[in-house]
Each structure stands twice: as structure tokens, then as C-alpha cells.
A and B are shown apart, each in its own frame.
Chain A
């Protein structure tokens, strides 16, 4: 009898110890949330991003997490529905996450007042310039150049390098038309900045064309553009609908060059667009999957290890973008944890806003955040799909070229 009691006591003590240890382990875990789109309007680029993000956190944990504390990454697909994103955000908050990896412009901007109120660092795949002014959105960040910078840089690169090769160069003003989904905050976010830049460079601007993110047939929009005879078309959507527009432009002989935002230019564009995609020029905030840049070997190895079912040849730049944001958050967490302050405010001030020319590799520009400016870089690399590969057109540094406007006028839009 005594033995049985002793055994039970030992068992209880062991259980208690185990629960205690687990409790300590749980307490040291750092919870990060994710709101992704793998089934909605932007899932053509969102799936690979979500996979890349998951791989990045697995890799980070394999490296010891944040100063030895593992990251518990919980994410949801919200199907690009904003009410859904809001409920997901609240669920993640309830789960006790200290920062969130978010997705689209509509939901990130909709959640922005809430994350500011909750002091929740929100690293998004939306690079809307509206999220870069800490006076308005102090808890929003991302590793990439913002959409407005992308648009200004792409237009500048075309103006500098392509327009002089046209037969009408010097005889008249160049003509710009914009094709994007009006209802999408993502697609429409840089339009004001783009047009402002076009006016500054002396462009004539045609009517905008409304092209859905789901569009497969854009002939009517291309026909409407044809009456204006643009020299260059800005595409603000994601890969699938941009490829459709480029195909129709090719078929209807629009005769314009195509420049686009970063979410349109990826490895799938030539696959979907075929010969129509030749000459596509776009903003690239980081390297394409597998390109020989610092840390790319880690990304590729993690891809092979953690997602063996996803063929390497089908991986996209979207994974690299996810890694960019994951590595950015990792560094901020490491710094904030070292400073002993893993609160939202601590992660922002002692983490993100202490970064000065921080190099994440992956072909991305060095990152700097200050408490008055959340634009991570000052320009953007512009690349072109030509002769079966992506080639550099220009590395546009807007701050160097227009320092006064960059400092005083262009922040936050």
C-alpha cells in the first residue's frame, strides 16, 4: 500500500514537473500571427508567399529562434475578404501574438487604426506608401520599396532608357495609360504618385482602364487604350490579369511598352503571357527565386527541406518576398528581446526603428527605419523580361535624384 502511495506521489511529482517545464517552455515561446491569401483574388501570388513565410519561420526556429526562444507561427487564409481579415486579426490577438505578418492593402489599411491602437507591429505584404508615414501608421512596416516608389522608379527607368529609343522621341510628349482594378486599394494605391511623377517628367496621361484582378479577357480595355496610342502602360494588378492584358495588347497590336508593379512581375508572367510578355518591365524589391544573391542558398535549401512536394521550378519571387519580411521581423525581435522589451512598442522602437542599412541579402536594398520615416529604401531595382531571362534595366534611387521631393513631399502617399 505504502509503495503504491509512493509510486503515485512520484507520478504526480513527475507530472507536475513536466507541466512546469512545459509551462516554462510555453512562456518562452514567441507567438507570431499570419493573415494570408491562398484562395482569394490575389492567391495567384499569395500561395507561394504563404509557403515561403512558413518555411522562413521553420528555418528561424531551426537556427534557435529569437535568442533561443522558439517562434510559434499561426496563420490563416482569409480569402482576400476584409471582414474576414478583421476577425482573424482579433483571433490572433486573442492567441497572444506579439506581431503579425499580414497581406493585402485593403485589409492592412483597414486594420491600420486598430493595430496602432493595440500597438501591434504589422509587417505586411502590402507595400502601400500610405503605410510608410509613422505619424499616421506607426505600427505598419515592410521590407520592400513601397508601391509609389516602385511606380515612380519604373516610370523613370522607362523614361530614361526606353523612351529615347522610340522614333517619336524629341518630337512629342510620351503617353502613359494605366490599367488596374479601380476597386482594389492595392492596385490603386500608387496611381496618384505615378500620375504626379508622369506630370513631372512631362507625360500625357490617358484614361485609366478598369481591369479586374480576375480578368481573363481585357480586349475592350485594350481597344479603349488604343485610341490614345500610349507609349507605355502601367499595370497595377497581379500576375494573372496583367498577363491577360499583355496577351490582348499583343494580339490587338497596341504597340506600347509595359511597366508594372512588383506583384505582376514574377516567374509566372512569361509562362502565362508567352511571347507577349517579352519586354515586360517591372519593379523588383528582391531577387527572383534561385538567383545568386546572399542568403538565397538558405531559402532554396529550406524550400527543398520543408516543402518537398512543391517543385523548385515552380517556386516564385513571392517566396523571397515572404523571406524578406520574415527576416526583417526576426532581426527586430532579436534586437527587442536583447533589450528585454518584447512588447509591441519595444519591438517597434528597439527593434525595427533601430535598423540602419540592415542587409537581409536576397537582392533586397538595405533597410532603414526611423521614427519619422518607414520607407525602408530610397529606390528600386527595375528589371525586364528579355531573351528568356530577367535583366536589369536600372537601379533607380529616387532620393538621390529628387532629394527635396523625397524628403519633403513624397512620404506617405
Chain B
């Protein structure tokens, strides 16, 4: 632990120090402040609507973290991530609704927490299955194989078979009180937000730790030059599949969490467009950075919500704007991606890094 208050320049002397979580007291203070904002400020002081917007930011970030790991850190382009989120959501729902849990598991509110874990593992393994072609193909070809995950998983398996379980038709509905963690039923926007905040924080900690360990270095090496990485002795197939597993695991967590937010589920919740949206999130937020996934999610959700608030008063004069709002939103999404790729290809995370560096040396920068 450093004794300095402000991170004023780089004085790291070894790798451990360079990768340390708390490089200065200021950073520790900053992180505690951030946690206070996330866990106390937003849920306790903002109206319910903004809390639910925060939940959407979190859900988007949870999905984007997996995409970031695959695209940003390992160089494996994916356009089928919604499928893995769907696997997580369906596994969790089916376990909660259909699995013959012993009475004490249900009474103690353990069915949903266990289902989250199993859902994450199932989605991770499913993701590995669709990651297998990455041993042979990359680039555009890999995009197509990951897209196959969407069509095979959501449009075929989930729609034609899994949705039929229980005889309801296509949609599962979770009765109130079923989604329970311990004694707490996850039935209010506030509780859903807290669940999201805890899961997202854990995911960020896990991913950040993985990235500064051996697998993380291997992933980055594969991304930068897979042939050179193999020449250095890295088993690239193994590490690529590990990346798919971790990304799928995160997607599974996101899907299992999503169930608590809607209490209902159908294949329509996981359109292919959502996979594309998540790629847009990391492009805007910044490829190759955990911050990028968070900033991208913040940008995409908050800007779109802001757009909504802008459209409401304008609709008095241009009533057709409401009719075309979904198209306006899609256009804004496309425009934002174009604008970022042209003017800030490194994304919002790079701007954050620049601002941080500026203030690290402020007011005596030179």
C-alpha cells in the first residue's frame, strides 16, 4: 500500500505494484466514494424511475463485459452474445419453476441463488461449444459462427423445445415471491437494483483480477498477435475457449439476473439485435477496457433515455416523433457508433483516461 495521497506520476518498481488495486490513498478514497454512490446514493436518494434506469445500465454492462472480454481483450469478434444471456435466463427460470427442490432449499430462499450459479455455468459451457470454431477460424468467419449461436439457441432450441416445457406455450411467468434470495423476495425496483449492483461489482472484480493474471496476459497476447502468442508457448485454443467460458459465464449471470427484473420470459426477450447492441456498447465505451463496458452502457442507456425526455415535449408540435421513436433511437445508435468510430475510435474510456491523467498532474502539469 502506497502512503502517497495523490497518484502524481508513475513510480512503480515491479509488476505487482503496477497492477495493484490501491496504488494511492486517493484511489482508495475514489473507489469507496464510487461504491457509496452506487450502493447508497443512487438507490436511496433517487426516485424509483432513475433506480430502474440504473438497473438497465447494469444489465447492459453485465452483457457488455463478456463481449468486452471476447472482442476487446481476446480479439474474438462475437455477434451472438444474446444467445448466452438467453441460456442463463432460461436455465435459471426452469430451475426455479420446474426443478424438484428439497423443501428447505425453497424455504431458505436458496433456489434462485443456486439457479444463478448453475445458469452461469450452463451458459459458459454453451458458449464454449460455439467457441470451438475459433480454434480454426477468426475475423468475419468467427462472426458468422457466433451468429449461428443466436439462431440455433434462441430461434431453434429455446423456441421450439425449451419454451414448451410446462405446457404454457412460449412464455414463462414467475409467480410473485418465487425469486427470493434468503429471506428477501426480489420484488421491488430497489431490490432488483441492489442485486444488479452486487453481481456487477463481483463480475468487475473477477474480470479485473483475471486480466492481471496469467489468463489475462495470454488473452491480450492472443488479441495482439495469435501466431506470436503461440510461438511464445501459449496454448491459444485453450485460452480462447477459456475466454468463451468466462464471457458465457458472465452472460449467464446477466440472463439469470434479467429474470428477476421481468418475472416473465419468452424468446422475444433475446433478439439478435441485442447482440449487436452490446457490440455497439463497447465500441462507444472503448474496446479493450473494463471502463469501456461501463461507460458504453452508461452512454447507451442514459443518452437513449435522454432522447426520450427530449422527444416528449417536442411531440406536442411533431406528434409523429413518438410514432417513429424506436426508429429515432436506432438512428441515434447508428449515428453514435459512426461518430465514435470517426472522432473517438478509442471510445469514452480513452477520454476518461485522458481526463484522469490531466488531473493526476494538475495544477502542475508540464
Q: Are B170 and A183 in contact (CB under 8 A)?
A: yes
* Cα–Cα, bound, A142→B254 (Å): 33
Specify which chain A residues have a CB less than 8 angstroms from the CB of B159 in the assembled complex: 182-183, 210
* Cα–Cα, bound, A86→B171 (Å): 16
Instruction: Tell me the nearest residue of chain B to A88, going by C-beta.
Output: B308
Q: Are A84 and B326 in contact (CB under 8 A)?
A: yes
Contact among A47, A90, A112 with B264 in the assembled complex (CB-CB below 8 Å): A112
Is chain B's interface secondary structure helix, strand, loop, or mixed overall? helix
Contact among B171, B187, B312, B324 with A38 in the assembled complex (CB-CB below 8 Å): B324
B152-186: CB near A (< 8 Å → 1, else 0) gives: 00110001100100011111011110000000000
Q: Are B269 and A82 in contact (CB under 8 A)?
A: yes
Specify which chain B residues have a CB less than 8 angstroms from the CB of A86 in the assembled complex: 261-262
Smallest distance from the beta carbon of B352 to chain A beta carbons, Å? 25
Q: Restricting to B253-267, which residues have a CB under 8 Å from any CB of A? A: 261-267
Q: Restricting to A24-49, which residues have a CB under 8 Å from any CB of B? A: 36, 38-40, 47
Q: Are B323 and A50 in contact (CB under 8 A)?
A: yes
Contact among A74, A81, A109 with B271 in the assembled complex (CB-CB below 8 Å): A81
Specify which chain A residues have a CB less than 8 angstroms from the CB of B56 in the assembled complex: 83, 87
Q: Are B326 and A82 in contact (CB under 8 A)?
A: no
Q: Are B262 and A185 in contact (CB under 8 A)?
A: no
- In the complex, whether A184 has a CB less than 8 A from a CB of chain B is yes
Instruction: Tell me the nearest residue of chain B to A212, going by C-beta.
Output: B155
Q: Are B263 and A114 in contact (CB under 8 A)?
A: yes
Q: Restricting to B322-347, which residues have a CB under 8 Å from any CB of A? A: 322-327, 329-330
Q: Restricting to B4-27, which residues have a CB under 8 Å from any CB of A? A: none
- In the complex, whether A75 has a CB less than 8 A from a CB of chain B is yes
* Cα–Cα, bound, A353→B204 (Å): 49
Binding site for A on B (CB under 8 A): 47-49, 52-53, 56, 154-155, 159-160, 163, 167-171, 173-176, 187-189, 261-269, 271, 273-274, 305, 308, 312, 315, 319, 322-327, 329-330
- In the complex, whether A279 has a CB less than 8 A from a CB of chain B is no
Specify which chain A residues have a CB less than 8 angstroms from the CB of B173 in the assembled complex: 109, 112-113, 130
Q: Are B169 and A189 in contact (CB under 8 A)?
A: yes
Query: How many interface residues does A have (CB within 8 Å)?
Result: 45
Q: Restricting to A72-86, which residues have a CB under 8 Å from any CB of B? A: 74-84, 86
Known contacts A79-B326, A188-B170; decide if A109 and B264 are in contact (CB<8 Å).
yes
Smallest distance from the beta carbon of A168 to chain B beta carbons, Å? 31
Q: 12 pairs across A/B with beta carbons < 8 Å?
A: A39-B327, A47-B323, A76-B322, A109-B264, A111-B264, A112-B264, A183-B154, A185-B171, A185-B266, A185-B268, A192-B168, A210-B160
Smallest distance from the beta carbon of B241 to chain A beta carbons, Å? 29
Contact among B169, B305, B327 with A185 in the assembled complex (CB-CB below 8 Å): B169
Q: Are A39 and B326 in contact (CB under 8 A)?
A: yes
Smallest distance from the beta carbon of B179 to chain A beta carbons, Å? 10
* Cα–Cα, bound, A47→B327 (Å): 13
Contact among B49, B160, B168, B312 with A74 in the assembled complex (CB-CB below 8 Å): B312
Question: 7 tightest A-B contacts by CB?
Answer: A79-B326, A94-B49, A113-B263, A110-B264, A183-B159, A183-B267, A188-B170
Binding site for B on A (CB under 8 A): 36, 38-40, 47, 50, 54, 74-84, 86-87, 90-91, 93-95, 105-106, 109-114, 116-117, 130, 182-185, 188-189, 191-192, 210
Smallest distance from the beta carbon of B268 to chain A beta carbons, Å? 4
Instruction: Tell me the nearest residue of chain A to B173, going by C-beta.
Output: A109
Q: Are A113 and B176 in contact (CB under 8 A)?
A: yes
Known contacts A50-B323, A77-B325; decide if A110 and B266 are in contact (CB<8 Å).
yes
Contact among B175, B263, B269 with A83 in the assembled complex (CB-CB below 8 Å): B269
Smallest distance from the beta carbon of B253 to chain A beta carbons, Å? 17
Q: Are B170 and A184 in contact (CB under 8 A)?
A: yes
Q: Are B324 and A87 in contact (CB under 8 A)?
A: no
Contact among A54, A76, A184 with B268 in the assembled complex (CB-CB below 8 Å): A184
* Cα–Cα, bound, A413→B154 (Å): 25
Is chain A's interface secondary structure helix, strand, loop, or mixed overall? helix
Instruction: Tell me the nearest residue of chain A to B269, going by C-beta.
Output: A82
Contact among A90, A184, A188 with B52 in the assembled complex (CB-CB below 8 Å): A90
Smallest distance from the beta carbon of B94 to chain A beta carbons, Å? 17
Known contacts A78-B326, A185-B268; decide if A93 and B49 are in contact (CB<8 Å).
yes
Q: Are B170 and A76 in contact (CB under 8 A)?
A: no
Given contact pairs A117-B176, A189-B170, a sample of 14 additional A-B residue pairs in the complex whose CB atoms are under 8 Å apart: A74-B312, A76-B325, A87-B305, A90-B53, A106-B171, A109-B266, A110-B264, A110-B266, A114-B263, A185-B169, A185-B268, A191-B169, A192-B169, A210-B159
* Cα–Cα, bound, A116→B187 (Å): 11
Instruction: Tell me the nearest residue of chain A to B267, going by C-beta.
Output: A183
Q: Are B262 and A110 in contact (CB under 8 A)?
A: yes
Instruction: Tell me the nearest residue of chain A to B189, going by C-beta.
Output: A90
Specify which chain B residues have a CB less than 8 angstroms from the CB of A39 in the assembled complex: 324, 326-327
Known contacts A81-B273, A106-B171, A110-B264; decide if A54 and B176 are in contact (CB<8 Å).
no
Known contacts A38-B323, A91-B49, A189-B169; decide if A82 and B176 are in contact (CB<8 Å).
no
Specify which chain A residues have a CB less than 8 angstroms from the CB of B330 in the assembled complex: 79
Q: Are A106 and B52 in contact (CB under 8 A)?
A: no
Instruction: Tell me the nearest residue of chain B to A110, going by C-beta.
Output: B264
Most buried by B among A39, A40, A112, A182: A182
Q: Are B268 and A183 in contact (CB under 8 A)?
A: yes
Smallest distance from the beta carbon of A361 to chain B beta carbons, Å? 26
Q: Are A185 and B160 in contact (CB under 8 A)?
A: no
Smallest distance from the beta carbon of A221 to chain B beta carbons, Å? 14
Q: Are A192 and B167 in contact (CB under 8 A)?
A: yes
Smallest distance from the beta carbon of B259 to chain A beta carbons, Å? 11
Known contacts A86-B262, A113-B263; decide if A188 and B268 are in contact (CB<8 Å).
no
Q: Are A77 and B326 in contact (CB under 8 A)?
A: yes
Smallest distance from the beta carbon of B281 to chain A beta carbons, Å? 13
Q: Are A90 and B49 in contact (CB under 8 A)?
A: yes
Instruction: Tell me the nearest residue of chain B to A117, going by C-beta.
Output: B187
Specify which chain B residues have a CB less than 8 angstroms from the CB of A94 in the assembled complex: 47-49
Known contacts A94-B47, A182-B160, A191-B169; decide if A75 and B322 are in contact (CB<8 Å).
yes
Q: Are B174 and A113 in contact (CB under 8 A)?
A: yes
